[in-house]
Amino acid sequence: MAKGRVTVIDIARAAGVSKSTVSLVLQGSPLVNEATRAKVTVVMRELGYVYNRGAATLRQTSGNTKIIGMVVNDLTNGFFAELAVGVDTVVQSAGFVQFLANTAERVDRQQEVIASMREHGISGLIISPARETTALDLKAVTEAGIPVVTAVRNIPGAKCSSLVSDNAAGTLAGVKHLAGLGHKRIAFLGGYPDIMVFQERYRGYCEGLQAVGHELHADYVIASSASRAGGVDAIGRALKLPEPPTAAVCFNDAVAFGVCDGLRVQGLEAGPKFGVVGFDDVIEAKTAVPSLTTVSVDPQGMGQKAAQLLLKQINAGKVEAESVTTAVRLIVRESCGATVRGSAEAPL
């Protein structure tokens, strides 16, 4: 059978029953005997059919569900809330409704919410994948002809569009800035090595150390959850080293906030004595105490761009994968120890 959306006709042909019988099975009608119902159900599962519950109703008036699915890996992180706001501003103006779901980094939960969204007839999907997501996890969606954009985290081999920030350039700039302030023992804190974003940001960290003539010390690379609690844990371990670091580039702003919290527990403060650089530039970064030096990726702008990529495919009526990398910039504030009023943009 050719790849694409599996239809009721396909199910009927494979099961050797009529189209109306398949429709009755989907409706849960008691008019279908159990043997036939079981046979049709098995065929639907084998062909990967998903009942488009929303489309069954909405097609009657518009022919289009006008629903965009958005799945994020950690909605407790303010970055993803801002990303969702950016998506919403674009899809809403285009007459679509956004369905938002959080996976909490669980691939099984991710599969559940995607299946539910497909039942409601999404026209497209924007996803920041959970850890350990592979191209195979998105295959059913892409082969059904549903446009997909992976945002923030790219999935190698997935046949869909991707939108990421220039991760390596961001951490490289952070290292060079801290080194310029006199720091020689600079750590990289937070995140897990099994995701591509970590690998890209770690690469920038290594390139930054090389650029300023500093040696890479494995002890200064401390993995943890990409959360505030993860930041507290990472800095706690870093400060117990025989020669603890005096500065850190963090995986993201959430980790950086946690690092600042952990420093306070030890009677320290982010600033001249321990420089802290985050990554994302969430809204709270500017108002935090001390205000957070961070790599700005413009979360709402990324959300808008992801939505535009998706709508372009929806409007074209075909999937043409694109890969987009957005520029970043280092925003210097108080947490790195630089003397600034408000915030200033540092050259990359």
State how far the Cα of 83 lies from the Cα of 313, in Å rounded to an integer: 20
Q: What confidence score (pLDDT) does residue 343 get?
A: 57
Is 1 contained in some domain?
no
On whether residue 141 sits in a domain, the answer given is yes
24/12 Cα distance (integer angstroms): 11
Confirm if 155 and 217 have CB atoms less than 8 A apart: no
The answer to whether position 36 is within a domain reads yes
Tell how far CA 2 is from the center of its chain.
31
CA–CA dist 135, 298 (Å, integer): 27
If asked whether residues 221 and 245 sit together in one domain, one would say: yes
pLDDT digits (tens, 9 = 90+) for 17-65: 988 788 888 877 777 899 998 999 999 888 888 766 555 544 434 445 7
What counts of helices (H) and strands (E) characterise the chain? 13, 13
> Same structural domain for residues 172 and 278?
yes
Q: Do 129 and 203 belong to one domain?
A: no
Q: Are strands 186-189 and 323-326 parallel, antiparallel or unpaired?
A: unpaired
Do 195 and 238 belong to one domain? yes
248 and 283 housed in the same domain: yes
Q: Are 70 and 159 part of one and the same domain?
A: yes
Which regions in the chain score pLDDT beneath 50? 1-2, 57-63
Res 58: pLDDT: 46
pLDDT at 61: 40
For residue 26, the model assigns a pLDDT of: 81
- Would you state the torsion angle of the CA atoms of residues 108, 112, 118, 122, taken in this order, to the nearest 10 degrees? -80
Residue type at position 306: A
Beta bridge mates, 295: 279, 330
Are residues 61 and 160 part of one domain?
A: yes
Give the model's pLDDT for residue 340: 56
| Peptide bond between residue 290 and the one before it cis (omega within 30 degrees of 0) | yes
Question: Bridge partners of 250?
Answer: 189
CATH of the domain at 20: 1.10.260.40
Q: What pLDDT sits at residue 347? A: 57
The two structure tokens encoding residue 3: 């790849």
Q: Within a domain: residue 3?
A: no
**In a domain? residue 212:** yes
SS (H, E, C) 246-315: CEEEECCHHHHHHHHHHHHHCCCCCCCCCEEEEEECCHHHHHCCCCCEEEECCHHHHHHHHHHHHHHHHH
- End-to-end CA gap in the chain: 51
Domain that holds residue 74: 56-165+299-326
pLDDT digits (tens, 9 = 90+) for 173-192: 999 999 999 999 999 999 99
- Type of residue at 304: Q
In the chain, how many domains are there?
3
Q: Does some domain include residue 242?
A: yes
Q: What is the pLDDT of residue 111?
A: 94
What pLDDT is recorded for position 121?
86
Same domain, 195 and 278: yes
Distance of CA 338 to the CA centre of its chain: 31
Is 0.85 surpassed by the pTM of this model? no
| Residue 235 falls inside a structural domain | yes
CA–CA distance, 306 with 8 (Å, rounded to integer): 32
Q: What CATH number should be reported for the domain holding residue 252?
A: 3.40.50.2300
Regarding whether 174 and 287 lie in a shared domain, the answer is: yes
Same domain as 193, residue 108: no
Residue at 337 is within a domain: yes
The answer to whether the Cα torsion of 147, 50, 156, 303 is positive or negative is positive
> Do residue 322 and residue 338 come from a single domain?
no
- Residue 180 and residue 348: Cα distance in Å, rounded? 13
Are 152 and 189 in a shared domain?
no
Give the model's pLDDT for residue 323. Answer: 94
